[in-house]
Structure 1
Amino acid sequence: MPTVTVNNHQIHYADSHPDGAPADSDSHAHTFIFIHGLGSSQNYYFPILPYLTSQSHRCITLDTYGAARSTYTGDPISIGSIAADVVGVLDALHIANAVVVGHSMGGLVVTLLGAEYPDRVKAVVAIGPTHPSEQLATVMTQRSDIVSTAGMEPMANTIPNGATGPNCPALVRSFIRELLLGQNPQGYAALCRAIATAPAIDYSAVRAPFLLLAGEEDKSASMQGCRHIFDRVSSANKRLEVLEGVGHWHCLEAPEEVGRAIAGFAGGV
């Protein structure tokens, strides 16, 4: 798996078209870059990628610093530093701009990118984005403390059932458990602190085309928070879709719905 070093962080990534978009692709093909959520990895997105690569879109998935294979080395992490790493990856791969896709914590990152790096963002797709709040900060601080002392098993024993919808297959829950157990506890704790200290984002500064996908049964990114974000984004081309019966792990629980929604949205960008 290729790596790139940006901002002193070694980032593992995968690229569906490392030589650029296929020569026979039409002008509607885009480059996508995907930012996963807390306790996850780039593999979270693989079930939806065929819906995009089949339309000649270039898809770049990465493990954020401190998560999965992008080894945590003790540097502080913030939502801003993750956003800067994403821009660094685009620079390293000589990509002028991209459709940025983020889930949960990654939803925070892509809305920040849309607000603060508009020249690098062709469109924003936020999947179950978390909205900074006092309650979120409290929950993330508690998680940071738990994993710092007890490791990842407490998260692996609770999140797969607690954060998914009622129709989520057992196989998906087992994969979520594996994603969680594969995390470095100190990296996970640092990412929890990044969410706890997330800045207030000026959603009105997001003017790029914007798609928000919300899970009807999502207890981690509430419908209230999703609507708060959506209502304040200034884009003239924005869409909110609610996935029935889906919890917080949208791309694993409903890959067909998510893949088709993003592909359809991309066709209008």
Structure 2
Amino acid sequence: MPFVELGDVRLFYTDEGSGDRPLLLVHGYTADSHGWSWQLPHLVADHRVIAVDLRGHGWSSAPAGGYTTAQFAADLAGLLDHLEIERVVGVGHSMGGSVVSALAVEYPDRVAAVVAVDPAYLLPDETAGAIGPMLDLLVDRPGAVRPSEPYLRRRRCPVLTFYADPARAAIERAVFTDPRSRVVTWEGAGHWLHQERPAEFNTLVTGWLASIA
């Protein structure tokens, strides 16, 4: 199994397929790279696909600290350096959507596009209040990375997002900066949209990636 040593953390990842535009798949909080099992067989047909376990998740090591959006993004940048990959499409679910968005903001030359699946940002007050302690863990100091509307506007690449909540979808649409960006809304779906409707999700993602190539 492939691992990479990056300072205080040892990251597990898989690396399959081939293609000119690698995809970097990033899971959500308490999940791991197995969450993309519904996507990998489809995506590797035409793309190089890297699926990673974030620090403290899956097969990766669990150091004492570093569980912040900024550090997760820095870990991913280190993984790309190790793999000698200049640019990727960052695909993230839930917290992973925040992480790939941070990667796009903090390392703009490394991210060609972002796909975010019910990301852990732009949350309604009642949801943010319920998971507030978890969100606080992702910010290690005042002013550190917590994706907000002004922060998300700093993503200069095209963005494709999937939501079940049309209100959140409308807010996301308002922060796009690239005209090729798109929001998909599946009302009535749950949090794991890519697993609930995998065939439709996979087709939409690959079609959108082809349209922005």
Question: Any conservation in 2 of the 1:138–1:196 contact (CA below 8 Å)?
Answer: no
Which whole-Å deviations, capped at 9, do the CAs of 1:56-78 have from their partners, x for residues lacking one? 20000011001121121212310
Residue 4 (1) aligns with residue 4 (2):
yes
In the comparison of the two structures, how many residue pairs are matched? 206
Residue 124 (1) aligns with residue 114 (2):
yes
Tell me how far 1:141 sits from its aligned partner. Answer: 4.8
Greater percentage in helix: 1
Tell me how far 1:200 sits from its aligned partner. Answer: 4.0
Question: Any conservation in 1 of the 2:21–2:87 contact (CA below 8 Å)?
Answer: no
Tell me how far 1:5 sits from its aligned partner. Answer: 1.4
Question: Any conservation in 2 of the 1:207–1:236 contact (CA below 8 Å)?
Answer: no
- Partners of 2:207 and 2:129 lie apart in 1 by 37
Which whole-Å deviations, capped at 9, do the CAs of 1:38-70 have from their partners, x for residues lacking one? 12110111211222222x200000110011211
Which whole-Å deviations, capped at 9, do the CAs of 1:164-218 have from their partners, x for residues lacking one? xxxxxxxxxxxxxxxxxxxxxxxxxxx8721798524412211211101113xxx
Q: Any idea what SS the aligned residue of 1:13 has? A: strand
- Partners of 2:105 and 2:33 lie apart in 1 by 23
Out of 206, 211, 228, the residue aligned to residue 155 of structure 2 is: 206
- Partners of 2:48 and 2:41 lie apart in 1 by 11
Out of 40, 49, 69, the residue aligned to residue 49 of structure 1 is: 40
Residue 62 (1) aligns with residue 55 (2):
no
- Partners of 2:137 and 2:131 lie apart in 1 by 6
Question: Any conservation in 2 of the 1:104–1:130 contact (CA below 8 Å)?
Answer: yes
Q: TM-score, normalised by structure 1?
A: 0.70
Q: With CA pairs under 8 Å and 6+ residues apart, which has the higher RCO, 1 or 2?
A: 1
Q: Which has the larger radius of gyration?
A: 1
CA separation of 1:231 and 1:261: change in aligned 2, threshold 3 A = same
Q: Any idea what SS the aligned residue of 1:205 has? A: coil
Out of 138, 142, 149, the residue aligned to residue 194 of structure 1 is: 138
Out of 91, 94, 111, the residue aligned to residue 101 of structure 1 is: 91
Which structure 2 residues correspond to residues 20-39 of structure 1 after superposition, within 5 A? 21=18, 29-39=20-30
What's the counterpart of residue 180 of structure 1?
Answer: none
- Partners of 1:141 and 1:203 lie apart in 2 by 19
Say what the alpha-carbon RMSD is for the aligned residues.
Answer: 2.3
What's the counterpart of residue 74 of structure 1?
Answer: 64
Q: TM-score, normalised by structure 2?
A: 0.87
CA separation of 1:4 and 1:210: change in aligned 2, threshold 3 A = same
Q: Hey, which bits of structure 1, 4+ residues long, moved more than 4 A?
A: 132-137, 195-198
Q: Percent identity?
A: 30
Question: Any conservation in 2 of the 1:32–1:59 contact (CA below 8 Å)?
Answer: yes
CA separation of 1:141 and 1:199: change in aligned 2, threshold 3 A = closer
Q: Any idea what SS the aligned residue of 2:190 has? A: coil
Unmatched 5+ residue regions in structure 2? none
